[in-house]
A and B are shown apart, each in its own frame.
Chain A
């Protein structure tokens, strides 16, 4: 059991890395017409936090990252979008992790899809129209492909960090 200070320091470290990933992501928006849809590089940090620390630490990391990235790189409604996306995807990943049937790749694919779907739903609610659901299949495919890639990267990182522990 690592000490409390060790734990807090790691949360801060992961949140800082996540913030950089969020910044890199904000430089390459995907022009698919739904605000907030991203590749999900910052999801690497959340997945790694779930594995090397705990789901509650992952919640803290996500909360700090989203709040800082929202105030720094986007304004107003953009913050609400990223908060919804990040927490919905964290919630799905937490359920998948808790079921104990999925590995890092499955969890990260589920999280990526959940993020995209939540962005689409929030967009539908704000413009008060379900016509945007036309983009659902594309977002599902994009989410699962990005999620698997993020999962493979996260798995490699988790393996390395487990050796350090």
Chain B
């Protein structure tokens, strides 16, 4: 079993990595790590929740006020967004995959919940002006 790993460099009979593989993997890893550090440098507790439906702003809500927002599409409730204790989550979605519901609570700025089937996007930002900073930087 161990020769799977020990032969990576020596181009042995099991795994044969070429030079280009190393460069590709290291380049992507670097991009990812730099991006992660860059984004997390701006990480802070958000205070405003903005809900977008079909790319249009549906409404902005204070993250510290507990509330439930219902999004209605064709007379049916398609999504319910719940804000409680400074966190926001997708409480209900009528789409079959339920990825947005499984994502749970988010609270930091720039974090988002996306429900693609209903084109609903929930974004946390530190303040309303902060949204422009997020675009320009």
| A residues adjacent to B (C-beta < 8 A) | 29, 31-35, 74-78, 81, 99, 101-103, 105-106, 109-110, 113, 122-123, 126-129, 131-132, 134-138, 140-141, 143-144, 148, 152, 155-156, 159
Contact = CB atoms under 8 A, between A and B. Distances in A.
B72 interface: no
B18 interface: yes
Given A29-B97, A129-B55, A141-B32, A159 B104 contact: no
A141 B14 contact: no
5 contacts: A35-B116, A35-B117, A105-B17, A137-B36, A156-B14
B16 A113 contact: no
Contact of B110 (A34, A99, A131): A131
Interface of B: 4, 13-21, 24-25, 28-29, 31-36, 38-39, 52, 54-55, 96-97, 99-100, 102-104, 110-114, 116-117, 119-121, 123, 134
Contact of B17 (A34, A106, A140, A144): A106
Given A131-B121, A152-B4, A103 B103 contact: no
B4 A109 contact: no
A102 B18 CA distance: 6
Given A35-B116, A127-B116, A103 B18 contact: yes
A128 B121 CA distance: 9
Contacts of B97: 29, 35, 74, 78
